[in-house]
A and B are shown apart, each in its own frame.
Chain A
Amino acid sequence: MSALELFSLPFLQRALIAALLTGLAAPAVGTFLVQRRLALMGDGIGHVAVTGVALGLLFHTSPTWTAVGVTVLAAVVMELVRESGHTNGDVALALLFYGGLAGGVLLTGIGDQSTATLQRFLFGSITTISEGDVLVTMVLAAVVLLLCLGLAPQLFAIAQDQEFARVAGLRVRAYNMLIAVLAAVSVTVAMRTVGLLLVSALLVVPVATAQQLTRSFRSTILAAMTLGTLASVGGLVLATFASYGAKVAPGPTIVLVGLAGYVVAWPVGMYLRRRARLRSPFPALPPVGHDTTEHPHDHGPGCGHLAVPHEDHVDYVHDGHRHAVHEGHYDEH
């Protein structure tokens, strides 16, 4: 089968659409998560989504919708805990991690589903996406993109400085919830593409790559979306061609392509940062130490100033400085 025939197959076209939208939407949310130093939140939500998927399998409904429901609920709970608790959320995140994964595996067993079914969701199965799934992905991705880009100034201000945002009259709690819910939705959107265990990579890796090269938030979020799209579509295409020779899963390929981008960008980023540091050197200071102004007082033995032997001459402590005679004036030593 030639490449052209391959890409005219409906299942691959559906996969490409899903990859494109996931690659656009996930890094948009991921940028706000990284800005708030919640890079692992996507992972926590991904683990909870396992329970959601298992619930869907158990009751024979759409796993996508049950996953959306469970993850949104978990994200809201996590945000409430983070807001009111003393820990900054990492312990709460860890608790959800374990609960979500354990619950999912347990429910899959109860529902008498094979682990192979669950594995489709754990590691992604972009090539088995149905038409309905593509529609759901498109709608959810569009909503995520619209909110992320439309409310970017507000979300940015809150991620940057919560207290300032509060004084600016923003409803900080509502926006925090919104970010959590958007993260949950984008996790379920990306679930079919790269799988729940790798989902956070699509949220975080393009952002980490982009910020190596960018100097502003705006360019970071746009570059992350571009890189995310390149990684997910490129990874899918790469996996498709590679499957002529061996069994190559698209999910891990997408993540590895994204990571390869980071590996390439990192040295460039190092170089750029180094140059930026060199560009703004210490401000030039007036030269110190050669005071040619008239000195109103001749230092000498018994002049009233403390004499300090200094190498081959004597300094006199004067106004907190040490003065040394030098050709008719005094140097600061």
Chain B
Amino acid sequence: MPMSATSTPPPPPAVAVQDASVVLGGRPILRCVDVTVEPGEFVALMGANGSGKSTLVRAILGLHPLTTGEVRLFGHPLHDHEDWARVGYVPQRPGAATGIPVSVREVVAAGRLTRRRLFRPLSAADRAAIDDALEVVGLADRRTDTVSHLSGGQQQRVLIARALAGEPELLVLDEPTAGVDLPNQEVLAETLAELKRRGATIVLVAHELGPLARLVDRAVVMRDGRVAYDGAPLLDHEAHEPWFADTHSHHHEPPGHHDHAPEVRSPLDRKERRPR
């Protein structure tokens, strides 16, 4: 198709982050970050604890408001991005289990919501996508089990299946390998390899890549809220060299803790503003 190659402009990047800064609790977490992810790329976002890698993906998904800069998904600015069916998100593990027993299939079915209309039952296409997603992560035989009865690695795979059920073009995974044993990491690597074959764009936050290393096209290493490296894939130990690591301490800050702000608050205090 030489005609179309010359007449159509190249597709816009799947993710374009320009000069993005994020401030949480009065503290700058991301400082003027520029990252671009082309369609079909597999990018690993690495860095020490507290380097801002999770914050960056959350900002990309619109979960943290930007103080400066702009995020574009598939060429559309985030605030008027409507086509969320093209995006799949796999959050960090907690959140799979809640106060009510929930079956594996129900969690995965939630991933189909991007493509469902209100007040409509699941269509045949929805069911097929859910079954396919369960098949890909190897949990088809556990579909009626309660999620909280599964192991941590299996719960992580349920969350991945949920994102897959929406058949996204861009898949964002936040630390999918943290606290997951090697066999489950292998399953994860096979799943992502299959998605990569299907042409999906994948952004992966990881402290350590393990079996995923062979899939990575590009590594971005964060340090102190800035991009410290952006280029060819790095080995795990390279991403943790002193010039990438946090120079101040290796302590992990507990989430939601503001060390410089008073902890007693009234219910009417404002939290960070959230979009929408």
Q: Are A151 and B118 in contact (CB under 8 A)?
A: yes
Chain B 105-139 near chain A by CB (<8 Å), digits 1 or 0? 11101110110101100000000000000000000
CA distance A66 to B30 in the complex (A): 49
Decide if B102 is an interface residue (CB 8 Å cutoff).
yes
Q: In the assembly, what is the distance between CA of A91 and CA of B264, in Å?
A: 12
Q: Tell me if A's interface is mostly helix, strand, loop or mixed.
A: helix
Of B58, B84, B110, B166, the most chain A CB neighbours within 10 A belong to B110
Which A residues lie within 8 Å of B269 (CB)? 85-86
How many pairs, one residue from A and one from B, have CB atoms within 8 Å of each other in the complex?
Answer: 127
A154-B118, A168-B111 as given contacts; A217 in contact with B276, CB under 8 Å? no
- Size band of the interface chain B makes with A: 35 or more
Q: Is B68 an interface residue (CB 8 A)?
A: no
* Residues on B with beta carbons closer than 8 Å to the beta carbon of A171: 276
B265 part of interface (Cβ distance < 8 Å): yes
Whether A169 touches B267, Cβ cut-off 8 Å, given contacts A35-B100, A153-B109, A215-B145, is no
CA distance in complex: A39, B98 (Å): 13
Task: Report whether A163 and B144 are in contact in the complex, using a CB–CB cutoff of 8 Å.
Answer: no
Asked if B197 lies at the interface with its beta carbon under 8 angstroms from chain A, I say no
Q: Is the CB of A157 within 8 A of B271?
A: no
**Residue on B with the closest CB to A87?**
B267
Give every chain A residue within 8 A of B118 (Cβ-Cβ). Answer: 150-151, 154
- Find residues 75-106 in chain A having any chain B CB closer than 8 Å to their own CB: 81, 83-87, 89, 91-92, 95
* Distance (whole angstroms) from the CB of B112 to the closest CB of chain A: 8
Closest to B84 in A: A169
Contact of A37 with B99 in the complex, beta carbons under 8 Å: yes
Chain A contacts with B in 253-283, Cβ cutoff 8 A: 276-277, 280
Distance between Cα atoms of A86 and B274 in the complex (Å): 13
A220 to B267, Cβ gap below 8 A? no
Q: Is the CB of B268 within 8 A of A85?
A: yes
Residues of B within 8 A of A214 (CB): 101
Residues of B with C-beta under 8 A to A36:
98-99
Chain B stretch 117-172: residues in CB contact (< 8 A) with chain A: 118-119, 144-146, 149, 162, 166
Give 1 or 0 for each of A219-255: 1 = CB within 8 Å of chain B CB.
0100000000000000000000000000000000000
Closest to B61 in A: A167
Chain A nearest Cβ from B37, distance in angstroms? 16
CB-contacts of B167-205 with A (<8 A): none
A216 interfacial contact with B, CB 8 Å? yes
B100–A91 contact, CB under 8 A?
Answer: no
CA distance A216 to B118 in the complex (A): 22
Q: Determine if B87 is an interface residue (Cβ-Cβ < 8 Å).
A: yes
Given contacts A164-B162, A169-B85, contact A150 B119 (CB under 8 A): yes
- What CA separation (Å) do A277 and B146 show in the bound complex? 11
B63 at interface by CB-CB < 8 Å = yes
* Contact call B101/A166, Cβ cutoff below 8 A: no
Contacts of B116 in A (CB 8 A): 153
Q: Is the CB of B265 within 8 A of A85?
A: yes
Q: Is A173 an interface residue (CB 8 A)?
A: yes
CB-CB under 8 A from B114, the residues of chain A are 168-169
The answer for the CA separation of A86 and B276 in the assembled complex, in Å, is 18
Q: Do B101 and A217 have beta carbons less than 8 Å apart? A: yes
User: Shortest CB–CB separation between residue B272 and chain A, in angstroms?
Assistant: 9
- The 6 A-B pairs at the shortest CB distance, nearest first, are namely A169-B84, A216-B103, A92-B267, A167-B89, A157-B110, A35-B100
27 sampled A-B residue pairs with Cβ under 8 A: A34-B99, A35-B100, A37-B98, A81-B267, A85-B267, A86-B267, A87-B265, A153-B109, A156-B110, A157-B113, A160-B102, A160-B107, A163-B58, A165-B110, A166-B62, A166-B63, A166-B276, A167-B61, A167-B84, A168-B89, A168-B111, A168-B114, A169-B84, A211-B101, A216-B106, A277-B149, A280-B145
In addition to A164-B91, A216-B144, 7 A-B residue pairs with Cβ atoms within 8 Å of each other are A81-B267, A150-B118, A154-B113, A171-B276, A215-B101, A217-B102, A276-B149
